[in-house]
Amino acid sequence: MAALVWRAALAAALVCGIGLLPWLTRTDPALTVLKARSADRDPTPQVLADIRAQLGLEQGPLRVLGQWLGGLWRGDAGRSWLSGEAVTPAVLQALGASLLLMAVALAVAALTAALICARTLWLGAHRRLDGRRAGGSGSAVLAALPEFLTASVLATVVGVQLGWLPALGWYGPRWTVLPALALGLPAGAVIGRLLDDLLPGAFAEPWALAAAARGLPGRSIARQAVRRCLPGLLPNLGLFVVGLTGGAVAVEQIFDIPGLGRTTLQAALAQDLPVLQAGTLALVLLAAIAAGLAALTTRLLVGPALRDGALSSLHRRPPPVRRILPIAYGLLLTVVVALGLPRDPLALDTGERLRSPSVSHPFGTDALGRDVLARVAHGAVDTLVLALAIGAAALFTGVLLGLVPRLSGPLVDTVNAVPPVLLALLVTAVAGSGPATPALAVGAVAWAPLAAHTSALLRQERAALHVAATRAFGAGRWYLLRHELLPAALPSVTRHALLRLPGIALALASLAFLGLGAQPPSPEWGLLLAENQPYAERAPWAVLAPAAVLALLGALAVSAAGGVRLPRRSWPARTPEPPSAEEPSPTKELVGIR
């Protein structure tokens, strides 16, 4: 009940925040509406006054908001300030298209995740997992793929050049394939990576050994292992459901899909508040439903075990890491940066535009004849430092808030459901457009999936036998947290945070058009990708180079994070000293037995 009230309060705060947005940012809605209607029209005072009268803006923000809320009870979300059309049917129509796209994308994501976990599943089901480390670089590269890049490559190559599938429109099942691929691949890579992270733990549990000894087929063991890991992922899956529904702006644009992402983006830019409020409310509602379903499914899957504290820890000490991979990736990245740093990233020569890679320009040149290698290298420092800083802050906040799931759960869903542009506008409204604003705007969402992940893992961990045992020996809450719960969840969440680093770099660049963040001609990586996107077909190197280094960063982060582990307790000096906690998880015993 309390959670419901908290959730409703958040939604209400959000709607009110949107309602006050123009007054907070001091951006006249009459002006933005006029420009969205007709960019060439001169904003004379008379015209602006007419629009204000038409929209009823003179009554002040509170009256406007009150009227909108009054109509909401009857399912009437008002009329669009832009077009004058009823909002409810338009938003529902867009929501339908977006939900369908999300559903197909989720299917693609499931398939991708299955492929990524296939090796671990096969090895685990045949009990050959011990001592092997899953690769992970492939999925990290996939997770780092910017959606708009995949989308434009798919549209150009599969849609236009090969002509296998329609390149744009939204008229039937055939039209869903390419956009769903562009959205589903990176999402599936993240989910697959998280699942792959948990699977070895599940396979090491006693039941798996017993099942194998009983002669159950590997297939059913694998199925049970997935079932065992799913509860830890469900909250994140819920976030993806909402994120893919409302945040697929780039894909919707490239494939010309009349979805909710584009609708809310346009409404946010034009400050078409009724549409923006309705669209956001729909997404927040969807988020609540997704969270509810995730909780329900968790209960169905592991409910009794959670209640009775009968789970074993999914987290065992990771086997030795292959040190060679991160070193190789790191070296490659360093070499690229070192080669590019002596070059000038800003010197443009329009006579040399869009040249393919050659000796003088190893990565080719961009649309203004600048050396792509130089730009990639010079952008590395800015991009990496900022992305790492935001990533670290997000990890800290995420873990902290993940500890208090009752408070953070609804907050996570709500924040995740807010369209990124809107969130940036809200942050700008509060923080002003200073140099830290873009980082704040990106950081304001980046923590959400990490918090969801943390709380999901902790929830299971709290039900683990070793925690019960430790508690039985009189350990306090603080002791439990520091020595049992956090060490179990942190490595996994940290790897998750690193997996999302490239996404943070891209999100930063996507705010540039609001005048936030890096401005051209800065060679920041996200900006590089965005400015070269129109030339993706004619000069693929100009987008592939930054995309490749971004993917390399992802691979480096994930492979290096394989070694992330916290020092477990040091035995002798600790009080209270729980003797049986010597073996914190039954997994270890099992390894010993074998």
Instruction: At 476, list the tokens.
Output: 């306090």
Residue whose C-alpha is closest to residue 135's, from 493, 558, 512, 494: 558
253 lies in the binding site for another protein (CB under 8 A): yes
Q: What residues from 531 to 590 belong to the interface with another protein (CB under 8 A)? A: 531, 534-535, 537-538
Residue 434 identity: G
164 lies in the binding site for another protein (CB under 8 A): no
170 lies in the binding site for another protein (CB under 8 A): yes
Give the binding range for another protein (CB under 8 A) out of 2-10, 79-87, 273-281, 312-320.
Answer: 79-87
Beta bridge partners of 311: 464
Give the binding range for another protein (CB under 8 A) out of 29-37, 110-118, 195-203, 334-342.
Answer: 29-37
- Minimum distance from CB of 466 to another protein (Å)? 43
519 lies in the binding site for another protein (CB under 8 A): yes
Instruction: At 450, list the tokens.
Output: 């990490």
Phi then psi dihedrals of residue 205, to 5 deg: -75, 160
Residue whose C-alpha is closest to residue 454's, from 500, 408, 498: 408
- Minimum distance from CB of 434 to another protein (Å)? 15
- Minimum distance from CB of 296 to another protein (Å)? 20
Beta bridge partners of 86: 79
**What's the CA gap between 459 and 306, in Å, rounded?**
8
- Minimum distance from CB of 178 to another protein (Å)? 11
Q: What residues from 493 to 512 belong to the interface with another protein (CB under 8 A)? A: 512
Residue whose C-alpha is closest to residue 248's, from 191, 186, 183: 183
Residue closer to another protein, measured from CB, 79 or 132: 79
- The residue within the footprint of another protein, chosen from 152, 280, 416, 587 (CB under 8 A), is 152
Phi then psi dihedrals of residue 317, to 5 deg: -60, 125
Decide if 115 contacts 150 (C-beta within 8 A): no
- The residue within the footprint of another protein, chosen from 61, 138, 258, 309 (CB under 8 A), is 258
- The span from the first CA to the last CA of the chain, in angstroms, equals 48
171 lies in the binding site for another protein (CB under 8 A): yes
**What's the CA gap between 234 and 505, in Å, rounded?**
25
Give the x-and-dash track for 363-382 against another protein (CB under 8 A). Answer: ----xxx-------------
38 lies in the binding site for another protein (CB under 8 A): yes
Phi then psi dihedrals of residue 520, to 5 deg: -60, 150
Residue closer to another protein, measured from CB, 106 or 451: 106
Residue closer to another protein, measured from CB, 177 or 407: 177
Strands of 48-205 (E only): list them. Answer: none
Residue closer to another protein, measured from CB, 228 or 370: 370
Decide if 244 contacts 147 (C-beta within 8 A): no
- The residue within the footprint of another protein, chosen from 46, 360, 570, 575 (CB under 8 A), is 46
593 lies in the binding site for another protein (CB under 8 A): no
**What's the CA gap between 584 and 578, in Å, rounded?**
10
Residue closer to another protein, measured from CB, 141 or 442: 442
Residue 313 identity: S
350 lies in the binding site for another protein (CB under 8 A): yes
Q: Please give the size of the binding site for another protein, defined by CB under 8 A.
A: 74
Q: What residues from 449 to 468 belong to the interface with another protein (CB under 8 A)? A: none
Residue closer to another protein, measured from CB, 68 or 148: 148
DSSP letter at 355 equals P
Q: What residues from 261 to 320 belong to the interface with another protein (CB under 8 A)? A: 269-270
DSSP sequence for 270-337: HT-HHHHHHHHHHHHHHHHHHHHHHHHHHHHHHHHHHHHT-B--S--PPPPP-THHHHHHHHHHHHHH
Residue closer to another protein, measured from CB, 52 or 462: 52
346 lies in the binding site for another protein (CB under 8 A): yes
- Minimum distance from CB of 285 to another protein (Å)? 17
b/e code 214-228 from CB counts within 10 Å (16+ = b)? eeeebeebbebbbeb
Beta bridge partners of 371: 365
Residue whose C-alpha is closest to residue 398's, from 465, 496, 481, 329: 496
Beta bridge partners of 365: 371
- Minimum distance from CB of 254 to another protein (Å)? 6
Phi then psi dihedrals of residue 311, to 5 deg: -95, 155
**What's the CA gap between 147 and 149, in Å, rounded?**
5
60 lies in the binding site for another protein (CB under 8 A): no
- Minimum distance from CB of 390 to another protein (Å)? 22
Give the binding range for another protein (CB under 8 A) out of 121-129, 152-160, 438-446, 585-593.
Answer: 152-160
- The residue within the footprint of another protein, chosen from 16, 24, 36, 481 (CB under 8 A), is 36
Q: What residues from 95 to 114 belong to the interface with another protein (CB under 8 A)? A: 96-97, 99-100
- Minimum distance from CB of 422 to another protein (Å)? 14
- Minimum distance from CB of 126 to another protein (Å)? 34
**What's the CA gap between 74 and 82, in Å, rounded?**
22
Give the binding range for another protein (CB under 8 A) out of 9-17, 318-326, 517-525, 573-581.
Answer: 517-525
- Minimum distance from CB of 349 to another protein (Å)? 8
Beta bridge partners of 464: 311
